[in-house]
């Protein structure tokens, strides 16, 4: 019996118009454009002043549905990967469901930080492959500006706001779509990357606000060391498990956290830079949105083509990390 594969049939994204450049940060904190570029690869990032994560997600989903030529009424399931939900409840997926008119869909949020999209993608794929759903929307969206301390010289320069979404449908081709995945989490990384305030451990109080516990905390050096090893290792592992070499991979789609981490992952996989999707210079780290944002831009530009082999790779708070192997099946966007 032919195995049903979940495959991406459309992808879209949405980013705010406002840009926050390195020159802007030179006026805000003790830093320079050269320092930021050298250590991160970031030049500018997008900022959403008015609105919330649901706005980023909804606009990205609408773009995806328009590309596929369908309405929200045809969607069975919505999964939103985010660490900046509009509120604890209802879920951001519920808000998106109502706004796109997906009256037949159910949904939920996934919290896996910068690995949120691969985690949500693999989860959504299960519902396609077991025949429960025919059309699943998977979104990566984060308004990171809402939890960023813009007096924090080390972390404030890293993050931006964006939303991107993919539509999953079934394929009868066993070599198509999502072929394999490896996902991990390790709670030992909790102390190095977190947001302490706002949850049941530290409910909002004047004290938690005064201590800036509602902002991102990151031990940059510790996280960098773990990310370099974990993201590179899991990407190499999925290649080895599927008997692939660098020559067999058309695109690496890495989480856009730091250009040095991206380069280390590509090097471990035996890939040249021209096989790596990189847009960190224009958007910074948009957390759950980085990977689908790359997919959307490359597909729209005609550089991501049907039949190509791609590897998604991520590392985030938790720690969470993973890799997904895919055969791209969506027809060329142009």
H or E element in which residue 9 lies: strand 5-14
Give the 3-state secondary structure percentages of the chain, helix then strand then coil, rounded to 5.
40, 25, 35
274: left (phi over 0), alpha (psi -120 to 50) or beta: alpha
β-pair type (77-81, 136-143): parallel
Q: Which of 94, 114, 133, 294 is catalytic?
A: 114
DSSP state of 10: E
Q: Which of 22, 133, 181, 255 is catalytic?
A: 255
Taking the mean position of all CA atoms in its chain, how far away is CA 81?
8
Whether residue 99 contacts residue 60, with contact meaning beta carbons closer than 8 Å, is answered with no
H or E element in which residue 324 lies: strand 320-327
Q: Taking the CA atoms of the chain, what radius of gyration do you get in angstroms? A: 19
- The DSSP-derived string for 107-146 is EEEE--GGGHHHHHHHHHHHHHHTTS-S-EEEEEEEEGGG
Whether residue 113 contacts residue 288, with contact meaning beta carbons closer than 8 Å, is answered with yes
Tell me which residue of 84, 142, 82, 70 sits closest to 107, measured CA to CA. Answer: 82
Residue 194 appears among annotated catalytic residues: no
Residue 258 appears among annotated catalytic residues: no
Rounded Cα gap, residues 19 and 281, in angstroms: 12
Residue 285 appears among annotated catalytic residues: yes
Alpha helices in the chain (DSSP H): 22-28, 33-40, 53-68, 92-99, 116-129, 206-210, 220-241, 259-269, 280-283, 290-300
Rounded Cα gap, residues 140 and 156, in angstroms: 20
Q: Which residues are catalytic?
A: 114, 255, 285
């Amino acid at each position: 019996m032919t195995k049903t594969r979940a495959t991406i049939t459309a992808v879209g994204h949405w980013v705010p118009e406002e840009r926050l450049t390195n020159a802007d940060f030179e006026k805000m904190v003790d830093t320079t454009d050269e320092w930021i570029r050298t250590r991160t690869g970031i030049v500018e990032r997008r900022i959403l002043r008015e609105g919330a994560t649901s706005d980023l997600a909804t606009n990205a989903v609408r773009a995806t549905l328009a590309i596929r030529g369908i309405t929200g009424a045809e969607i069975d399931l919505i999964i939103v990967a985010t660490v900046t939900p509009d509120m604890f409840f209802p879920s951001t997926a519920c808000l998106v469901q109502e706004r796109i008119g997906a009256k037949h869909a159910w949904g939920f949020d996934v919290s896996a930080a910068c690995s949120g999209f691969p985690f949500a993608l693999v989860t959504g794929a299960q519902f396609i492959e077991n025949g429960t759903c025919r059309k699943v929307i998977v979104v990566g969206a984060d308004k990171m500006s809402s939890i960023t301390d813009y007096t924090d010289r080390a972390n404030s320069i890293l993050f931006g706001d964006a939303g991107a979404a993919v539509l999953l449908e079934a394929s009868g081709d066993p070599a198509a779509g999502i072929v394999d995945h490896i996902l991990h989490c390790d709670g030992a990384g909790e102390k190095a990357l977190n947001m302490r305030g706002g949850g049941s451990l530290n409910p909002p109080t004047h004290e938690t606000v005064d201590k800036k516990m509602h902002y991102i905390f990151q031990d940059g050096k510790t996280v960098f060391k773990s990310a370099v090893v974990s993201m590179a290792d899991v990407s190499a592992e999925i290649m080895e498990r599927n008997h692939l070499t660098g020559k067999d991979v058309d695109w690496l789609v890495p989480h856009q956290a730091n250009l040095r981490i991206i380069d280390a992952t590509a090097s471990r996989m035996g890939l040249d830079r021209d096989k790596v999707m990189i847009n960190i210079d224009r958007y910074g780290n948009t957390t759950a949105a980085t990977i689908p944002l790359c997919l959307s831009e490359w597909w729209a530009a005609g550089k991501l083509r049907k039949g190509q082999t791609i590897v998604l790779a991520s590392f985030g708070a938790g720690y969470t990390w993973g890799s997904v192997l895919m055969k791209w099946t969506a027809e060329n966007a142009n």
